[in-house]
Structures are given as structure tokens and as C-alpha cells.
Chain A
Amino acid sequence: MKKLFPLFALFILACSDNNSEQIVNMYSQRHYDVDQLQYDNFEKTTGIKVNVIKANADELIQRMKNEGENSPADLFITVDVGKLWQASDMDLLQKYNDEGLTEGITQSLTDPNGFWVPVTYRSRILVYSNERVQESDLSTYEDLANEKWKGRLLVRSSSNSYNQALLSSLVANLGEEVTQNWTEAVVSNFARDPKGNDRDQVKAIAAGQGDVAIVNSYYIGLLLSSENEEEVNAGKSISVFFPNQEEGQRGSHINVSGVALAKNAPNKSNALKLIEYLTSDEAQEIYVNNTYEYSVKPNIEPNNIVKEWGTFRKDPLDLNMLGSKRSDAIRIFDAGGWK
């Protein structure tokens, strides 16, 4: 054992390079390849090194909470705005207090409370089988409760945060009781028990196991740009539908991937620079063309694959509601038997 200690000490030293280089520490729920690309670009232009820990948002929140004042975290970035709301609700964030930071960003995507800055957004949309469903059959999320969809709906588990955010938006827009009835009806329309991820729902449509699925928009982009020809074919066997677009309807549900300053950020000015970079036109172009998400800036066009689906109207709900209504949503999922 004794022989190990020097090795150990050496390793710890090697891990903690405490020189005075410029850094910013990021706790990230995003783990796409493109993120590292962004951080590398940022370091190239500013000389500030981005240190990252990637994990589940809840784990990161828990870690920040327990680290307390000593937390090394400067920034917290998530793919679900509800988690940013939760972090702010737990007093783990500080306001960015810089109007300039959200300049050029679509107003409705920003945080009215000033805690988080949106980086990209995505819509939770419907996709349908080209063979078995007419576009005119579809209209709204609410309509999925209709009996005509019995045995035809596909969606993943209720433990998935995208589904939780969608249901939170329904609770916020329609109230608990209506949402409860909706959930029960939708569950009774399921083609199978919820399982798999979003792409699996699309594949299940292609395989004929169901006709309509609720998925995040960018997964369709990823399928269509896949190197596996069969995945592209599966992607082509379905079409994209943005629900709730008619006049008087509220628009399609969206969710934001956003970034916020940690309460005790030790490298605050570097952190603000990174936020500025991530929302710059250059970084936004990189996002839309790699992950098929939507840019938060109206002047940045979506990737061509995404553009083909056309434009859509977004649900103007205060996005913080996707967090604050979360616990109601979970209860409704459980009561409605959505596994």
C-alpha cells in the first residue's frame, strides 16, 4: 500500500493545476459534441479555458447545493429550462444584471426574472406516418385525447424531462383538471407502454407499431442526416406537424436550453464572456447546423433540413412555468398511469 501513496499524490497534483490561467467552470447538462467545439472556439478567441463537468441536471443541482459557497461552478447550462427555474428557486443562481447580454435575442425566449439566458430552443412536435395519417387529421396536443387515436400514439416515459415540460405547459395553459383528463385519455390511446428514446418512437412508426409520436424537433433532423441509410428512410417515412397553430390557438410547446450564472461564481466576468459568446451569431450558426436546434436569435436561420418544415408559432408562456408547474405535472402523470 505504501508504494501507492506517492503515485496517488502525484495524480492529485496532476489533476489540480492551480496556476493563474484564465478559466471558467461550467456545470453542463448538455453533452453534444458541438459543445466542446464551442468551448474550444471560445478559448481560441479569448484565451479563457472552459472546464466542464457534464452530468444530469438534478445531479449537478444537488452538487451545487451541497458545495454551497465553495462551489467552483461559474455557469450552469441545461437542456430543460425547468431545471434552471428549479436552480433559481433553490437560490443557486444569481441574476446576470446585464441588459446587453440578451440583445438581439427573441424577447419571448428570455427570462423575465433575469436569471438565465437562452442559448437554443426546440419544439416538442408531432410526427405522423405518411402512409396511415393525413396531415388534416392532426390539429392540437389536446386533440391527441380523441378516441380516433386509440392504439396509435407513441411517446417515451414520463420520467423524461421533455415530456414533463410539455405536461407542465398544459397545466399552465389549461389548468390541472383538464390536463388530468387529457392525460388519462392520451394514455388510453397509447400504442404500447412508453419506452425507448425519441428516435425509437419514429422508428416504431416506420415499423407500423403506431401512427403518431410526440418527439423533439431536432431528433428528426438528426435522423434525416444520419449516416445509416435505414435511419434516413425511417425519417422520410414520417412528416413533421407543429400543433396548435390555428388562429386563436396558443402555438407549439417549446423548451429552451439555457445558461445561468451560479450564485457564487468565482470567475464571474469570464462566465459572462462565455454567455456572450454562446449567444453570438457565430456560435448560434454552429448550434443550428450541428444539433438541428433553433437559434434564439431571429436573424440566424435554421439548418436547411429544419427549414423545410416551415415556420411555426411558439407558445408564448413564461418558460419558468415549465419548472414551477413540474410537480403538478408529475402527479398528473402518475395518477393517469403514464409510465
Chain B
Amino acid sequence: MGIEGIGARVARKEDKRFITGAGRYVDDMVVPGMKHAAFVRSPHAHAQIKKIDVKKAQAMPGVIGVLTGKELKADGIGNLICGWMIHSKDGSPMKMGAWSPLAVDKVRYVGDAIVIVVAETKGQARDAAEAVEITYKELKAVVDATKALQKGAPQVHAEAEDNLIFDWEIGDAKATDAAIKAAAHVTRMKIVNNRLVPNAMEPRAALGHYDKAEDHFTCWTTSQNPHVARLVMSAFYNVAPENKLRVIAPDVGGGFGSKIYIYPEEIVCLWASKKTGVPVKWVADRTESFLTDAHGRDHVSTVEMAFDKNNRITGFKVDTIANLGAYMSLFSSCVPTYLYATLLSGQYNIPTIHANVRTVYTNTAPVDAYRGAGRPEATYLLERTMETAARELGVSPAELRRTNFITTFPHQTPVIMNYDAGDYGASLDAATKASDYAGFAKRKTAAAKQGKLRGIGMSCYIEACGIAPSAAVGSLGAGVGLWESAEVRVNAVGTIEVLTGSHSHGQGHETTFAQLVNQRFGVPIDSVSIVHGDTDKVQMGMGTYGSRSGAVGMSAIAKALDKVEAKAKKIAAHLLEADEGDIVIENGEVKVAGTDKSLPWFQVALAAYTAHNLPAGMEPGLKETAFYDPANFTFPAGCYICEVEIDPETGTTEIVQFVAADDFGNIINPMIVEGQVHGGIAQGIGQALLEGAHYDASGQLLTASYMDYTMPRAGDLPSFKVSTSNTPCPSNPLGIKGCGEAGAIGSPPAVINAITDAIGIVDIAMPASPSTVWAAIRAAK
């Protein structure tokens, strides 16, 4: 390991501009002649639009255009789509209702966009938006997915009878039922996974610019995957053909999944720019973020886990209702299916699994992937059930898990996944040791003397990152491939640009990707630039989500580096009059192994570009492209242990210890990995203790600001004890697994297991706020 190579704790290159306020986000972009947009949004959760009168608004000061959905439709702009086809168990395709970028006849959730107003200033656009007169006929709303499925519930879309989008299953129902029937013990639970608001620090934004002379569009947008945005906006929304549309995502201030999807606003800003003849910028305010960013989670499940007399799991049966909100967001259908039910085997040998999933429309914000996406929901079911089963069976939760661990690899689960590597016992050992799991009883007694309820909870999670291979996901219904691309451009003086299809929204790619290059060629990371986020600069790529940029994105870079290395060695061999096989690259020197013959790296690069003396027939230049399609998912895993103390008088939970022992495969930058784990755990603790989106029965979001939606703060969190014990991933060239989501996946059940242990109850709703905990303590008495 060099000081900047793989495994080095290099400070993040990009942080200098972020910390000094020099980052460049969409809202920092200024285009000559640019004007500002405001959207008129539905104040009702469910209503017919009877009339839209824009006359008064058009006459307001500074107004350039007031545009409606009717005009948008007349110009042929398409509906938003969900890009992953799921079929119900009866073979019928999912029932997708139409989602017009601007609502025409009906609004389906509070925040649904109806009209765009373009004006000279943001304030004028808002003033005029208030002057748009819309006549509604209010309809009854439904916000709860279980209620939405009942006969006679308000119908969100005519296309989906009883609001049922699909009724899907995976696994073997008959075998699982038989296992439950024959079981020595069955643990049964009803488990709710609470709805969350993503709350990226940077709100969503879009700047649409139509260039009349070139008949060309440019869209600056807050996107985790600008190429996918361009593809979808071209292929489905008819904004412009791909060659006439450039999508740029500059610095992106957090996303957690919410910036994967294409939203109405970017489409409408592009269209409005052509319509009004001016560049149009829209930046969400925080209320719009709460109301319209795709939310996460919102599952209700029942589970049955069967055990034999030796406490081995013999079957696992799951029935889930997933709330997808008012419209099907871009990847909403795959989250509660292939990103969820395929993880229901967890770290355990389970001979048979069956999961049934019904997805449902309601009059709430669309729900899509949010940090972990399906995997937190699966882990929550499994790990809550395992802990409960251990209590029912009277065995140690750690030992029940160990009894059931998968210990040989590769391991084929009954739900598609083929685990390639792991050592779950090692993580469990590390976590139990770091948390002094064995000494808990003493600490509980000491806490009781102080009038506190102390509890401990564990969670052994597995996740699947780097969804792949493309052929497999295509066969499961995905509308896209899930490979990644890279281009490595060595300049004539040896500095390097890496063009990657991944796109950072806070992950530190500019540092870690440069470390990979440094490892290969010894070039200082300051001489390596990472280029991303611009469809005009970078070849087609798939973007950043699902913890894929290390395992998939960096593997593509590694492949391109292989090609560059091979060519550089050929050139060096020629110049040094040596055999190609004897050339090695070390610390910025290209050497003939075992001799003192060498060339500095930059001279090989220069030779490639002067082309004065290249091997016969070789093309000049040193630049290579690679596309990498992984052979399999990668499977990070780990064990989290949470210890809490509860003040029974107020219901306040203090996390007194949190231990994370993860297996992430090979690690490029341990500091960045730890940062990802810390952030993930903070979000997981947020879900367990603090965060919850709450709609009232009429469909108004009651938690639409930080006055009512509790974000985790530093004071809510302990100092985490994190460690890794790594088994390299055999499925990609770098042995990387992915660490972006693990914390958010593994931590909620550990926290809730600890709280239920402290109180001595089976279950408690998330977020386990002080009032919820207080009520649970009172009910348990």
C-alpha cells in the first residue's frame, strides 16, 4: 500500500471545495437570460380538477409564461413511467396508472404538480403561482395501504382495481406451508416498516435550457445518474432525442436514492424553456422536498418462521403489503420485490422461503428506493423475528443465529441469490467481543439500580449490492442493464483523467477512484481527475445507487486501467528494448524487472503521443474505455449490536453503545468506509428512534417540516464502535463489496431489539419516540 494507494486513509480531495462553500450545485448555475419557475401544486390529496384559470396569473408583474398540463400533452410530452416490469402471480403485468408531469384531470397527492409559472424572479413566480385559480372537486382520500386494498376504498387510478398494482410471489408456498405445519416451534409476528422522507441536504433542482439555434436542450439536474435521466427523458417523455439532450448533474448534495428518479419538474422545465424561449430554473424549497421527493419504506408484513427441535430454521413465510404512493416512481416496483424478497434468507440456512407481496396505490407521495431499498425491510423482518424467536425458545440470540449461519460458499438460497463469500461467525465474534455481550447482565443490573431499563439487541444483516448481471436483471423485468463504464485518458505528460459513469452525491469518488489509479501507476492522486455527471463529457453510464460504484464502477475503471497498462508496457518494452513480459510499473516508474533499466511514467505517456518511436503498427495515444458487467451481486454482511438505556418516567431512549462489525471485502479508503458506516447507522437509528412520515386520514402530510419530522442530530447518537473483518468478493476484480447502505440496513432491528429487550415486550412501532416507548412501558405493566 502506497501512501495514496488502495487501503490508504487519504483525506477526501473534494472536501476542500465543499467545506469552503465552493461546491457547485444546480442552484449555483447561471445561464444568460435565465428565469425562475414556481409550481402550482395540489393542496388536496385526491380531487378532480374542474377548471384552471391562469388569466390573473399571466397578468402579474414579471410573468413570462403560465403553462398547464393540457399544453404539455398537446406538445406530445409523455407520462412518467416505472422502469421495471413486474408480473403478478397470475401472469398479468403490473397495473401502472398514468402519471402526467403536470396533472390534467385529477390530482392524487398533496404536492402533485399542476401548473408551472415562469417569471423574472423567484418571488414573482411564486406570487403568480398563488394567483392561478383552480377549481377542484374534492374526493375521499386513502393513505393507508391496507385500507386502500379494501373493497369500496377510494380509487387512486382507474387502471388499478382496488388500488392493487401487482400481487407477486417468490419461493415455494407449498413447501413453506408444510415446513410450518411440521415445525417444533413457529414464531409469528406482524411487522411495520415506517415511511421515511429522504431529506437530502441539497433540495432537488432543475435548470432547463433550450437552444433554438442548435435545436438542443441542456438540463442541469440533481441526479445520481444523469445518463439514465437522459435516456428516460428521450425514450419515454419525448423531451428530445438523446443526441439533442445534454444532462449535467454537477455537485450533488446527497440523495440516498431520492435523486435516482426522473421527476416531473425537470421534464417540465425543459419543455417550458422551449415554450417560453428562456432558460428556466426551479429549486425546491424544503416543503416541496418533504411533499414530493420519493419517500422510502412503508411496508406492513406478517411473518411465520418455523424451527425444528434443534432450533434450526425449517421455513420462512412472509406476506407484505407495500405502499407505493400515488404514482409508480421509476424503480418503485423492484424495491419491494427483487431488492427485498431475494434477501429474506439473510445469513441463514433456510430450506424453504415463500414471500407474497402486494403493492398498492394510495393518496401519498410516491415511494421508491431509499438507502438500502428493500434490503432494510427484509433485514428488519428477519432480525426482529430471529430475536423474538430466541426469546420464545429461551436461547441466546447470538447462539440461535450462529446455529443457523450459512458457513459454506457459494451458497444458493431458495430466493434467487447465490452468496459468493462471507464469514458471518467472524462478524458475530467481533461484535460480541467489542460490545462485551457476555457482560450485559451486570450492566443491566447496574442500570436498574439507577432506575433505568437497559436492553441489548443484535442484528446480523446481509445485503446485495451492485445489482447484476445485466442479463439476469433483464430477465427479472429491469428496463436497463446494470453494468458500468469507464474511460481512462492518460495525458501526454502522464496526468490522468478518469471518465466514469458513476456519479458521486457525497461518496468521495474523486478520492477513492484516484487511489485506484495511484495504486496502478504511482501517479499522485492530485494528478488524477475524476470526470463525471455530464452526458456530453462521459460515455453512457448507469450512475450511483445500490452501493454499486465501488464494486461495479471501480471494476470498470480497473478494466480500462488493464488496457492502458498493457499498452504502456508494450511502449516501454519497445523503448527499453526489453520483453513486454518483463515490464513492471512501480511507484511511477516503468521498469524492466530485475534490471536498473526504467522510464518515468510520464515519458511513456509522452512517447504514446509524440508517436516518434512506437512499436510497428501501434496507434498513437494512451486512452482506453471499458464496460464492466459483473458476474454476480456482491454480498456485504455484518453484525450490529445496540445497547440502550430507557428512562421509564419519560420514555426517553439513550443509545449507550453501538457496535458495527462489517464485512465489506477489500477496502479502498478505510476512512471513507467508516464515514459511510457512520452515516448509514445515523439514518438507521433515525428510522428506529426518530423519523416517520405521518399523513392524516385526509392525506395531509403532518410531518412536512423539521418542526414535526425528527432528523437525527449528533446529540442523539453515541460514538460508534466500528470494525471490519473482510472476506474479498470473488465476483469482481477488486474484491470489493460495497458499504454505502449497510449501516441503514443493519441498524434498525438492532435498536428495536434492544428497546423491546429493555421493556420486555415483543414489538414496538418505529420510530420508538419517547411517547411511544412511554406508552409501551405503561401497556406492559
A binds B: no
